[in-house]
Structure 1
Amino acid sequence: MGSTVLKNGLVFAEGESFRRLDIEYENGVITALGKDLTGGENVVDCSGCLVLPGLADVHMHGACGADVSGGDRRSLDRISQYEFENGITLFCPAVMTFPQQKISDIVSCISEYASDCEKTDRALIAGIHLEGPFLNVRKCGAQKKEYIQMPDVHKLEKWQQAAKGMIKLVTIAPELPGALECISSLGDSIHFSLGHSCADYSAAKAAIDAGADHITHLFNAMTPFHHRDTGVVGAAADSEDCFVELICDGVHVSPAAVRAAFKLFGDRRIVLVSDSMEATGMPDGEYVLGGQRVLKKGSSARLEDGTLAGSVSDLYECMVNAVKMGIPLESAVRAATLNPCRSIGVSHRFGSICAGKAAHFLVVDKNELSVRKVI
């Protein structure tokens, strides 16, 4: 098929800034960046557009009426197609809290789909995020209390075996017995994320010192940032190598809190996530998350008791929302592309536009920030 050149666009180069550059790629890999590139058998004119890396969502549960925890390939294929169409070229399906065998079945299905799918119009699965079951029942959110379990190294090893090594991220409440053992024992192969937790500062800091390097949906399902005990938020702020997720759907976190988070953590540690569930991209109505009935109305999805149950916004919408909330475009793009890839250890291949990396691009109208083309 030969090489392709993207010309005349403002390129978000190497995750740093927008520059007027051409991009050449071939066989799915970026081969050159520069001005006035003349090679290429195919040319894509990007005049009037921004060229971004494909977005990466490391925390999402579903979309378009399909749930990643459904345990079937058809649902995963629908989700992968929806993500790609909306500018997300890489994602980590997030598995909810279920009994031990069901988690094994779900991660096995995801792993098999990820290894077999060869369609070019689908988002790639970069890994699996286990959001449960090692959570604090007092901060379980939309997770089923009856399935919550204590952290256990051997269970996690069995799930990783079923997933064929694809589990990249595990949410864990650090104050639970066995949590520190999981982190210290398996931290070389899994990124542990603190969340759904009642941990105070000392418990959270101990987990980070043991190797945890990620925070699940900052501010949500954790103790609040208090001036005498800053909890998980303060421990993460004190730890320069710790990434923090942020849901910018306009529901989970207020615009002022979003701006405060970027000031506190900087734009190299914020990881924008969608936390999207199957109602994303669907009309108002009744849906399911983690085996529980969820009602979507407008911009939010809630359990019958009013508890937020994931979001109904995809990552591209969250990135644009962040810009509308006052976050600089460059910072928002970095938080939706390079930072998530760094947070799960795949930034050597994905997340930024530079020679040698995967040719994942998003061509966006520079004025309206609407998606023109996904490559």
Structure 2
Amino acid sequence: MVEAEGGSEPRATRAPTIYDVAQAAGVAASTVSRTFARPGRVNSQTAERVRAAAAAIGYRANPVAQALSTARSRMIAVLVSDLANPIYAELLRGAQVAASAAGYGVLVEDTREDAATERETAERILPMVEGVLLTSSRMPDSAIRSIAKQRPVVVMNRGLADVPCVVADERRGARRAVEHLGEAGHRDLVYVAGPDASWPNGARWRAFSDACHELDISARRIGPFEPTFAGGFEAALALGGARASGVLVFNALMAVGVIRGLQQAGLRVPEDVSVVGFDDVLIGQIVSPALTTVSTPLQAMGATGLRNLLALVNGARSRGEPVVVPARLVVRESSGVVAARAG
């Protein structure tokens, strides 16, 4: 057993300290502290020797103490509109992998599709984090800009001037969906809208409407509906009087609800009504018939947003234009040709 200096507690019965590491590495305690808290301020050979000594005696840096000493928590907040929506699981996975690779943790908050809750949550957690990733924010532009003045912010699934954004190519995605239905002979289409406060909802409707106009296809809109299975099921009831041969639905959860609602009403998908959604998540792949959908690489999107946020945290200048992630149409069984419809 080794006695600590001055007759203090034997080292074998307590956790190693930076003073133990300093003695083992032959450096000052302040050098050990800088190695773990500010690694860029210690030359690489010395830092390697300190880390080797720390590993040899079982020393582990205290992340809370480091945060207090450096005013850096190495935590990023990710605010999501609805954790029950599977698109956020994909976005979060990409963001968490990117954060972990950079030595950061992720604090996730569900704001329940409510702008006031989102604003209150953001203000509450700002002191605990170095940056904020907003996914499908429901807050007004002014509120987002206010938060961006206090911490680095990146906005996902929403275009906003003066704040860094990562968005899907909504225009291209919606156009491909309309082209696909038009090529199958559909001339009367309906867009099933999600929340009015959703930026993608507005972008998708505009792209849908423009594409229909260019292709001489009748375009109507119903909604808004909740962006959930239940919201889609409710929309299916409203579609009963629309007499459309094809529908484009705000998201995959709603699209599955639309399919179930149409089936319960005695209509066949796609023989009577073709259904196309957005977001290629698992539920759309396992529903019968499997959902034709506009797909974006959600994990890659989450990782891109997180990496861009960390760049801002570390002093990078904001990009002037949004980062646009490509979208593609995945054709499955829920869409078909008009000729296959009964009657």
TM-score of the two chains, using structure 1 as the length reference: 0.27
Q: Which has the higher helix share?
A: 2
Q: Which has the higher strand share?
A: 1
Higher Rg = 2
Bigger relative contact order, structure 1 or 2 (CA pairs below 8 A, ≥6 apart): 1
